Chains A and B, each alone.
Chain A
Amino acid sequence: MADDLTKLTIAEARSGLQSGAFSSVELTDAHIAAGEANRALNVYVTETPEIARNAAKTADDRRTDGRVAGAMDGIPIAMKDLFCTEGVQTTASSHILEGFKPTYESTVGGNLKAAGAVMLGKSNMDEFAMGSATITSYFGDTINPWQAASGPDAGKDLVPGGSSGGSAAAVAARIALGATGTDTGGSIRQPASFTGIVGMKPTYGRCSRWGIVAFASSLDQAGPMTRTVRDSAIMLGAMAGHDPKDSTSAPVETPDFESAVGESIKGLRVGIPEEYTAEGMPDEITRLWEQGAAWLKDQGAEIVDVTLPHTKYALPTYYIVAPAEASANLARYDGVRYGFRAHGETLDEMYMNTRGEGFGTEVQRRVLIGAYVLSAGYYDAYYVKAQKVRSRIAEDFRKAFEDVDVLLTPTAPSPAFAIGAEMSPVEMYLNDVFTVPASLAGLPGISVPAGLSASGLPLGLQMIAKPFDELTLFRAAAALEEAAGFELPAFDPRGA
């Protein structure tokens, strides 16, 4: 029974709770147990079983009183450790925030609570969301429940992708029915592709950024990570909404996203951007991409070749804009008001020791790049130039969307790779080559598990839509999911 409960989707769990087939406490306990049985995956920085059980109990009591809080009432989820949670340690997987207990709840976290969601724990991630493998966390690597059946990585522990790797692994390993992620350059979509789940990044401004530890303010967006497109639509509905506390939050209505799931895509115009190929990208990914287009065509969609000429410049643009913003966003971690403080005789010594010991290598690397590209003499050559190229990239999309409704691309240029694989920073950055462009343009994107690599690892396809056109995105993604018929296997527990 407990085992079965973890196999449900959010939609199925919702009806089970409605019909009284099981209680939220039972559902929650089953997932707490699954988490304990899979400790070796290291999906959590902080587990919150008591909080979860209490919330579940409250949800059950509410239901017996004939009341339901919202779409996620009694549904156990994981919360990326980038979301500030009132009274619960929030670290962004960084030593510098170790022990920090916010006195406030992020707006998205508050919305989920209000919708009745049950928080199981704070999921692991790349430090300050800087990474594509969840191997830069101060609290250890997260392991992908998937293993390669063949090939060089067979039998090795694989990365879950990143930065939302803990959330991705938790959902794939059925430790949580869903999880929150944040996506700055692909941090929801790429790990979703690596773990065979659905990862969705909404339009910039759809979800409030208030109370989410900032990485790159002009790019950060929270989104749902789930096992189905329908679950994604349900969960986004509970997360989204205008927030006056975030000046970049869009004053738009939150539509019934779920209503789009299952609707016909007949006549939908699907763009295939010719530039979405990376050198050394395995043919199997290209073939899956073509297969995906065929599946949509079979359901009545029109496949249209489009061009996004500045695609190859998106990644280098991102690696100026994001570090520049991060270098300022992370200046507040100075050992004065919260978090870790190292000793120093003078103020500057204290700052330098605190930030030298408190930040990991990748974070330091990006903060330094950010400070450099903003510094006197380089600002125009790097930062201003990058923001101009960014305008061009956004313009590419605007033109393409005059002709098509959605775009179909691969999510990542490779399947999950082994932990400890030798990679230069730039090689690691290339993981996000297909996800970064939509981030720079603020567009909604979703990764849907569509097939397996020859080595037996999941591969995702990405769909991108116009600003605030998530309804079309979910409609198309659901059609793709339907055709792909991807099966998430049952994984053997990975106990400590």
Chain B
Amino acid sequence: MSSTGSSYLIQGETGDWEVVIGLEVHAQISSKSKLFSGASAEYGGGPNEHVSIVDAAMPGMLPVINDYCVEQAVRTGLGLKAHINHYSVFERKNYFYADLPQGYQISQYAHPVVGEGTVILDMPDGTTRPIGIERLHMEQDAGKSMHDQDPKRSFIDLNRAGVALMEIVSKPDMRSPEEAGIYVRKLRSILRYLGTCDGNMEQGSMRADVNVSVRKAGEDLRTRCEIKNVNSVRFVMQAIETEARRQVEVWESGGEVQQETRLFDPNKGETRSMRSKEFAHDYRYFPDPDLLPLVLSHEYVDAIAADLPELPDEKKERFMTEYGLSAYDAGVLVVDRDTADYYERVARGGDPKKGRDAKQAANWVISNLFGALNAAGKSINDSPVSADQLGQLLDLIADDTISGRIAKDVFEEMVATSKDPGDIVEEKGLKQITDTGAIEAAVDQVIADNPDQVADVKGGNEKAIGWFVGQVMKATQGKANPGVVNKLLRDKLVG
């Protein structure tokens, strides 16, 4: 089912305001070298170390495109269920800035390599919400200016200049900060599944330009503002909230929202105008005469499509049908590819025929394992409990070797020691008692010791049996098989 979108509204003095959000996400293509030069695209490095004479825009230097980057852009387009344009053109976006050596950015404008597509948001209530993708194009990243090293000068480092980016532009389909946050996370998840971008926002390999406008219900779009280079999901959501409220105030105080580029300051919790970049803007795009149109054959695109991995949405569908998981559980498990793989290993013991209780497996991964990992601040990849070990634990429950209660203690021990559950059960002698004789003795003892409660039960209060079960389990340190205990008590008390 597809939800109509969260009902996030801003209450103003003149009534409720809807927020309209579109995102332009810049994702760095994980390539060894830059888009048009052979310099390293690796993060970091000493000042101007990952810079070639092409990146420094020395006279007479020319761009030659990186084949791998083209392939990753197409892969990403296919992963976004988008239309791949077999003919696309690189253009020059002309403007002067200290970190832009050529005086223009090589980008794609009129003819991007990828056209319209869709990203499905998985809402917390289990519903989904499709967000339109307008386009994806390839372009060069700019260098870095440092303004606080020197009183009179800014320092320029071109290590990032020319690094390959994919600009992924959404349609203005989002209506709340929450949706925007979910969109960025989902996009990052897809990029990581595809392996086309590491999605590392701290290192700037994923950055968002956020377009925000507000309007009264049923109105056409009002003027939008673009908040540039927001570098975390949290900030994206905060920036939208702040900017939307600012715009509501402007409108309601009888003002006009100006279309402009703004900057989000997380410390001050405000957005402010970047007029410096605005003045006399005119990018004068035109096809880069140093490059020819990028023409992709159908064979080329089909070959890339053929080896796409299973993506989050398909995986989620499969987990729901194949394992009978709820939309929510499936959604949680597929966010990260390694988690999904871990879960499947637990659920199937690596062997399709030997199926385990898949729902139980999901519960253990989501509540117990995630809990333990969060507590230890660890990722699924360095989990102290391997998927096989967790699987073995589920097997011990399934064949009645231990009860669910004991299993929780065993799991804690596994987290602490990374030992196999079997060994832990042996060492600590936690094997469940299924020998009826031993259990019957304990049952008789408890009955003998509590005549009043016995009377109570015989008097018709069958619920009280639960109390007896508890007593027997206590007497056997929880090792008695609860099923057996129950049966004996019923035979003896209810008859």
Chain A interface residues (CB < 8 Å from chain B): 84, 90, 92, 97, 100, 102-104, 106, 209-214, 216-218, 244-248, 324-325, 327-328, 330-332, 334, 336-338, 347-348, 351, 371, 374-376, 379, 383
Contact = CB atoms under 8 A, between A and B. Distances in A.
B289 A375 contact: no
Interface in B130-178: 154, 156
Contacts of A217: 289-290
A328 B104 contact: yes
A106 B59 CA distance: 10
B64 A332 contact: no
B107 interface: no
A216 B286 CA distance: 13
Given A100-B59, A328-B92, A328-B284, 8 more contacts: A102-B59, A102-B60, A106-B60, A214-B290, A247-B292, A248-B289, A327-B284, A331-B102
B103 interface: yes
Nearest to A370: B284
Nearest to B97: A347
B58 interface: yes
Contact of A84 (B60, B97, B101, B292): B60
Nearest to A243: B62
B428 to A, nearest CB: 68
> For the complex, would chain A's binding face be called helix, strand, loop or mixed by DSSP majority?
loop
B281 to A, nearest CB: 9
Contacts of A213: 59-60
19 contacts: A84-B58, A100-B59, A102-B58, A104-B53, A209-B60, A210-B61, A212-B60, A214-B60, A216-B289, A247-B291, A248-B291, A324-B286, A331-B94, A347-B97, A347-B98, A348-B96, A371-B94, A379-B286, A383-B286
B482 interface: no
Tell which of A103, A217, A332, A338 has the most Cβ of chain B within 10 Å: A332
Contact of B103 (A97, A104, A332): A332
A430 B154 CA distance: 46
Nearest to B152: A345
Contact of B289 (A84, A325, A332): A325
Interface in B45-78: 53, 56-65
B42 to A, nearest CB: 22
Contact of A210 (B56, B60, B92, B104): B60
Nearest to A246: B62
B282 interface: yes
A374 B91 CA distance: 12
Given A102-B59, A213-B60, A351 B96 contact: yes
B103 A328 contact: yes
Contacts of B290: 214, 217, 247-248
Contact of A90 (B59, B62, B92, B285): B59
Contacts of A334: 96, 103
Contacts of B61: 210-211
Given A210-B62, A217-B289, A336 B282 contact: no
A337 B103 CA distance: 12
Q: Which 7 residue pairs across A and B have the least CB separation, nearest first?
A: A331-B103, A374-B284, A217-B289, A218-B289, A332-B57, A211-B60, A213-B59
A247 B56 CA distance: 18
A243 to B, nearest CB: 9
Nearest to B286: A374
B56 A337 contact: yes
A332 B56 CA distance: 9
B65 A247 contact: yes
Contacts of B102: 331-332
B101 A337 contact: yes
A244 B156 contact: no
Contact of B53 (A103, A214, A325): A103
B97 to A, nearest CB: 8
Contacts of B53: 103-104
Nearest to B281: A376
A336 B101 contact: yes
Given A90-B59, A331-B96, A379 B284 contact: yes
B60 A332 contact: no
Contacts of A245: 62, 64
Contacts of A97: 59
A400 B442 CA distance: 110
Given A102-B58, A375-B282, A375-B284, A247 B289 contact: no
B62 A328 contact: no
Contact of A328 (B94, B97, B291, B292): B94
A246 B60 CA distance: 10
A246 B289 CA distance: 11
Contacts of B98: 336, 347
Contacts of A244: 64
Contacts of B92: 328
Contacts of A328: 92, 94, 103-104, 284, 286
A332 B98 CA distance: 11
A349 to B, nearest CB: 12
Contacts of B62: 209-210, 245-247
Nearest to A84: B60
Contacts of B65: 247
